[in-house]
Amino acid sequence: MKKTPFILLAALLLTCILDSCSDTETYAEQKKKETTAIKSFLDRDICVRDGDGNIVCNVGKIMAISEEQFQEQGYTTDLSSNQYVLFGNSGVYMQIVREGVGEKLERGKTARVICRFIEFNILGDSIQLRNDVNYWHNNPDIMNISNNSGSFTANFDTEVNGGGAMYLRYGSTSVPSGWLVPFSYIRIGRQDSENEGIAKVRLIVPHSEGQTEAASNVYPCFYEITFQKMRD
């Protein structure tokens, strides 16, 4: 009879452990949730809004196209039908809103590029970070990017004002791999006239190609980003 309290306590602890395990998602389950969220996002005709309810970006219902169709169209995405190309190897979706001015980054070359963006957590269904507002006007995110035989590498600069929003939020100088996808197709320059526009893209980036927090917590992000070459 004296053992009964200990048996009850052990049973209670075991129940708590089993409940805890059942509440913990496996990595496979997290990836499945991410895939489902991305597919839903493509078809939602969504408007990204800020905390005050103002529309920041009208994403719309997305038409996904293959890399083969993207190539046939001259590496462009048709904005009138809201096309995004899906890159099968990475799972990144990309829309080229503007190809940009200047020249593409040639092999063996490096550049310093100003990045202004909004980051929308697709699972969280809200803007998570942005630097396209006045607060960050004098301290934008600056990317040091290199084209190494057609493969791009980059890091965020922290020497200028201690880094921009991405570094200060996530504590890493690593540029999300998904951000580098557009550089094979866009031009990096500076706007010299009113008729010109710097490169602008929209991306859906799965966790495997995203920033450190997305990678560790398995969630996808939508980005709208402009890229502008810094003055020499």
Give residue 203's domain range.
Answer: 28-229
Residue 46's DSSP bridge partners are: 60
Note the pLDDT of residue 102: 93
Q: What is the pTM of this model?
A: 0.88
Residue 125 lies in a domain: yes
Q: Report in angstroms the alpha-carbon separations of 125 from 61, 121, 128, 167, 219.
A: 16, 6, 9, 22, 11
Helix/strand/coil (H/E/C) assignment for every residue in 94-163 = EEEEECCCCECCCCCCEEEEEEEEEEEECCCCEEEEECCCHHHCCCCEEEEEEEECCEEEEEECCCCCCC
Residue 13 lies in a domain: no
The torsion angles phi and psi of 179, rounded to 5 degrees, stand at: -70, -20
Residue 20 lies in a domain: no
**Region of 213 on the Ramachandran plot (φ > 0 left; ψ -120 to 50 alpha; else beta):** alpha
Asked whether the beta carbons of 212 and 174 are under 8 A apart, the reply is yes
| Token reading at 90 | 């990475």
Note the pLDDT of residue 51: 87
Residue 221's DSSP bridge partners are: 121, 205
CATH number, residue 153: 3.10.50.40
Residue 203 lies in a domain: yes
Identity of residue 217: N
Residue 15 lies in a domain: no
Q: Number of structural domains, the chain?
A: 1
Residue 8 lies in a domain: no
Terminal Cα-to-Cα distance of the chain (whole angstroms): 84
Residue pointed to by tokens 């791999």: 177
Note the pLDDT of residue 23: 65
Residue 19 lies in a domain: no
Tell me which residues of the chain have a pLDDT lower than 70: 1-23, 193-195
CA 93, 95, 99 angle in degrees (round to 5)? 135
